Amino acid sequence: MFDAVETQVVVIGSGAGGAAIAGELCRHSIPTIVVEAGPQCTRPLGSHVRNRDPSEGGLSQYNDALNGALTFPSGGAGSGSAFRDFKVIHAVGGMLSYWTCNCPTPHVAERAPWITDAEWDSILDRARTLLGVGYDLGNGSVRQQRLIERVSMVVGREEAGRDVQPMPVAARRQGEQIRFASIENLLRVENVSNGPILHQDLICRQILHRSGRATGIIARPGVSGDDIAINAEVVVIAAGVAGTPKLIGGSRIDAGPALGAYLFDHPAIGSRVVLHRDILADVAADDPVFTVWIPYALGMPWHNQICRFPTNPTAIEYAAGPNETADIFTFCSMDVLEANRFNFDFDRLDPFGLPETVGAYALGAPDRGEVVHKGIAHPGEHKAIVDDELWSAVQAKLSSNLTRRRQARIESGAILGGLIFDDGGNRMSPTYTMRRGNRYRYYISPPHLQRKRKGSRPRISADDVERLIVEHLCRHQARNDLTADLTSGIWSAETRELILTVVDRVVIHHDQIEVRLKAKEAAPTPASARGDDKSESPNTISLPLPPARPRERKEIIVPSNFGTQARRVDQELILALARARSWMRALRQAEFVDTGEIAQRFRLSDAHVRRLLRFGYLAPILWRPSSKAASLAS
């Protein structure tokens, strides 16, 4: 029995596509619910992460936030060797809360042919209006003006409107402040009561359909909550390039052979350069950020961006200041092939309960500089994106790295990797620590999941949990030949194979381990029939877990006759108390939007502000004795 919710439209995904559709529907007063699998990571809801510090100096913080948010689709282990680095963002706003906001206008030759030019122009104009796309981000930037002048001398574009120019950016200046666009722009409505209802941390697991028409969805709070039904007249699937075909395929909707096929991306070449001294001459430290665009044009089917990217696109570190470098990106097209696709494995489900996918992806013959005629590839007159020798060398290197990473995981001894979760639904990762030359292994809930529901036991000894499970499985499966592993603590290939074959999932509770077996392995054995374990169902085994061992507490014992020292007034502590109280009051009164705005106002890091704010929760009796702190706070 499901809890049921009724609405007119339900949108799956709060990224660019989902938010754009939801916003337009709400502006026409159509009741809409948006379902997002991830949490809210920015404030206000769905705002751009770069708005915490939009200055050029905030790029490193932007980079850290981006890398911390990227994850494999559905929180799984990836989509095979062809997509070893394919990652997404499960959070309110999706990738739109982390994108660069660069908005190069596509050339007519770059547009999909099944949409007319008039329709394209209308769509692009609407997008520019909603996102606030303009050219004022780099206004007054000396470096930007000099770069445009020098690049224009080398790169010629005769086609009207396609000359070297500032990049159109979805960001607006408000005085000295810069505000980057995100889904908060797309969802903005005049009447707040008409806005969409957005549910975060709600994973859509199935599209309900009848007689060829969608009727709603089944969703679940997190990976271990109770299912909820949302009935709707219209279902919009905007779950991303991986999530959308997974959801359609997992719901057994017949979408034809094109489902998951025709994947393609913009091949890009990135490099970092040190700017010439003539460009840097007499440039102020607060020179506005620059973004230069060399557009796609007829006869020159590529476009370039010269900007400051949050991550160094090369492996070379330069002995230059952060404002003295620029990143150059070249984007070109690639051949669209049906063979580049996701293949679905309906017998294996990812943590979201959707079918696992394995991807196939390769360059086509035109991308390799060849022309195909009647099924035969011939050398072409055009240049290849990548020559065959370099392409083969890169693929061999990537395969070698993948093998080494897989071997490293095997040698680490983490036989439950990818199978173990805490009772909050968070996947636990293997880690270790070294003390006095000894290696101690653990499984922990990743720290970047702190905004999600926490498990009751986020850290557990890997040796303890692995030994309990292997010991039980040896009895359950009558595998006496593996008992030697229990003595040595070194897991053999046979033990690893047993785990992968039998165990579907391991959940760590406060005082027990829940082992979920795969269906074909769930039949009880004489050992389990004797009551050696507490099983709630044939598919589940519950094993008692020893309580967490408390860490030894070290104390200094002071003799009773030891005189006390005179108290010292700590000026830094007094200032910290005063700032914490005043900042807390300012946040409550909405004088600041978040801690990032406080950090920018006082020229501090966001992490430092968050640390100081903890003092604001101290009981007044602990800080009021200091009259100086009280006066500063007021």
Q: CATH number of the domain that 195 lies in?
A: 3.50.50.60
3-state class (DSSP) for residue 266: coil
11 in a domain, yes or no? yes
pLDDT of residue 401: 54
Of the residues 217, 236, 257, the one at which a domain ends: 257
> Does 524 lie in the same domain as 428?
yes
3-state class (DSSP) for residue 379: strand
Other C-beta atoms lying within 10 Å of the C-beta of residue 88: 22
Q: Which residue has the tokens 């083969």?
A: 392
> Does 575 lie in the same domain as 530?
no
pLDDT of residue 102: 92
Tokens of 285: 């430290």
d(CA 131, CA 487): 63
Strand 88-89 vs strand 370-373: parallel, antiparallel, or unpaired? unpaired
d(CA 323, CA 257): 50
d(CA 363, CA 263): 11
d(CA 53, CA 325): 20
619 in a domain, yes or no? yes
pTM: 0.60
Tokens of 539: 């598919």
> Does 476 lie in the same domain as 540?
yes
289 in a domain, yes or no? no
Cis before 524 (ω within 30): no
Q: How is residue 202 annotated by DSSP?
A: E
> Does 539 lie in the same domain as 433?
yes
> Does 217 lie in the same domain as 70?
yes
> Does 86 lie in the same domain as 227?
yes
H or E element at residue 213: strand 213-221
Tokens of 257: 């052979």
For the chain, helix (H) and strand (E) counts, in that order, are 17, 28
C-beta of residue 422 within 8 angstroms of C-beta of residue 507: yes
Alpha carbon distance, N-terminus to C-terminus of the chain: 55
Residue 597 belongs to what domain range? 571-633
Question: Number of structural domains, the chain?
Answer: 3
CA of residue 253 relative to chain centroid, distance = 28
124 in a domain, yes or no? no
> Does 539 lie in the same domain as 445?
yes
Residues in the chain: 634
pLDDT of residue 181: 92
Q: Which residue has the tokens 């999909």?
A: 112
pLDDT of residue 444: 83
C-beta of residue 109 within 8 angstroms of C-beta of residue 159: no
Other C-beta atoms lying within 10 Å of the C-beta of residue 278: 8
The 3-class SS string of 500-553 reads: HHHEEEEEECCCEEEEEECHHHCCCCHHHHCCCCEEEECCEEEEECCCCCCCCC
Of the residues 224, 257, 290, the one at which a domain ends: 257
> Does 81 lie in the same domain as 22?
yes
93 in a domain, yes or no? yes
> Does 531 lie in the same domain as 429?
yes
The 3-class SS string of 309-374 reads: CCCCCCCCCCCCCHHHEEEEEEEECCCCCCCCEEEEEEEEECCCCCEEEEEECCCCCHHHCEEEEC
H or E element at residue 64: helix 59-69
349 in a domain, yes or no? no
3-state class (DSSP) for residue 8: strand
> Does 471 lie in the same domain as 597?
no
45 in a domain, yes or no? yes
Tokens of 540: 């589940």
54 in a domain, yes or no? yes
Cα angle: 176, vertex 181, 185; to 5 degrees: 115
d(CA 363, CA 277): 40
C-beta of residue 266 within 8 angstroms of C-beta of residue 119: no
d(CA 43, CA 45): 5
Q: How is residue 141 annotated by DSSP?
A: -
CA neighbor of 394 nearest in space, from 436, 355, 441, 362? 362
- For the chain, list residues with pLDDT below 50: 1, 403-411, 448-451, 523-536, 625, 627-630, 633-634
Q: Which residue has the tokens 């909050």?
A: 424
pLDDT of residue 399: 61
CA 389 vs CA 244, 368, 383: distances in Å = 35, 11, 14
Strand 268-274 vs strand 291-294: parallel, antiparallel, or unpaired? unpaired
Of the residues 257, 289, 315, the one at which a domain ends: 257
pLDDT of residue 81: 60
pLDDT of residue 392: 72
> Does 204 lie in the same domain as 69?
yes
Residues 6+ apart with CB under 8 A from 218: 2, 204, 205, 206, 208, 227, 228, 229
Phi and psi torsions of 502, nearest 5°: -100, -40
H or E element at residue 306: strand 302-307
Residues 6+ apart with CB under 8 A from 154: none
> Does 510 lie in the same domain as 425?
yes
